[in-house]
Structure 1
Amino acid sequence: MTKKDSGYYLVKEDILPSAIKKTIKVKEMLRRHDNMTINEAVSKMGLSRSAYYKYKDFVLPFYEASINKIVSVSFVLDNKQGVLSNVLNMISADKGNVLTINQGIPLQGVAVATVSIETKNMDIDLEALLDKLRMISGVRRLEVIGQV
């Protein structure tokens, strides 16, 4: 298998079969409740143990797939002093390592910037960081455009 044919795809949750959705929810329950057993979780979700064991190693949330990765995020930012700096400071505060920054010339009051972030040492998962970045004043939009 080549690097290009990694076998990984991003798929919207709403098109997944019920057994895979339930497996994802069981894994979330087990992660959140240390004292819950697999039997309790699958029973609560109405999923057979065999279906859980069939899929459990093949489904993972996006943030788990992003652990120890380099993620490229595209931003649309207001052309105001300090917006990009606030984005970079937030990434740094959560121990994300900024590897590259590419910013175009601001047009019509907005600038497009792409930031590559190494997630290996981050204190929080990628989804939580993205949520925090969305809340920064001047961040109009952000989107994960790739990961290695």
Structure 2
Amino acid sequence: MEWKAYRFNELTINELHDIFRLRVNVFVVEQNCAYPEVDGLDPHCTHLVAKTGGRIAAYARLVPGGLKGELPAIGRVIVVPEARGTGLGRELVQRSRDFIINEWEEKEIFLQGQSHLEAFYASLGFESVSAEYLDDGIPHIDMKFSKN
């Protein structure tokens, strides 16, 4: 597995296409949720990508603090269907969290997680900070990680 954190302008056109295609396939098609997936934040974010055999296996978008909310955030967390249940999602969130803590030198991280993944994110040190709410028709919960 090859991991790399890209700034937007470091992505090739083909990599950007593959990221957008994966995000639309999962968040719009698979989850049957029509919303503006390409939201204008991507040029300001870091894109953490895991590839195997030249294909994206996992992806997360790391949003700097002050861009969407006060805290830096992990979002658009995806593991391709054929790699789900392998531990790749855990590694993706750990690497995302570690990048923000170590590279951006931040102490807190925000995450807007789907409610059915609350225990998964809690196992990685995130604490729930909101009641459950609907976001584009899908139950979510806000969570926060604080570096000790």
Larger Rg: 1
Please, what TM-score do these two structures have when normalized by structure 1? 0.32
Structure richer in helix, relative to its length: 1
TM-score (norm. length: structure 2): 0.32
| Structure with greater strand share of residues | 2
Which one scores higher on RCO, CA 8 angstroms, separation ≥ 6? Answer: 1
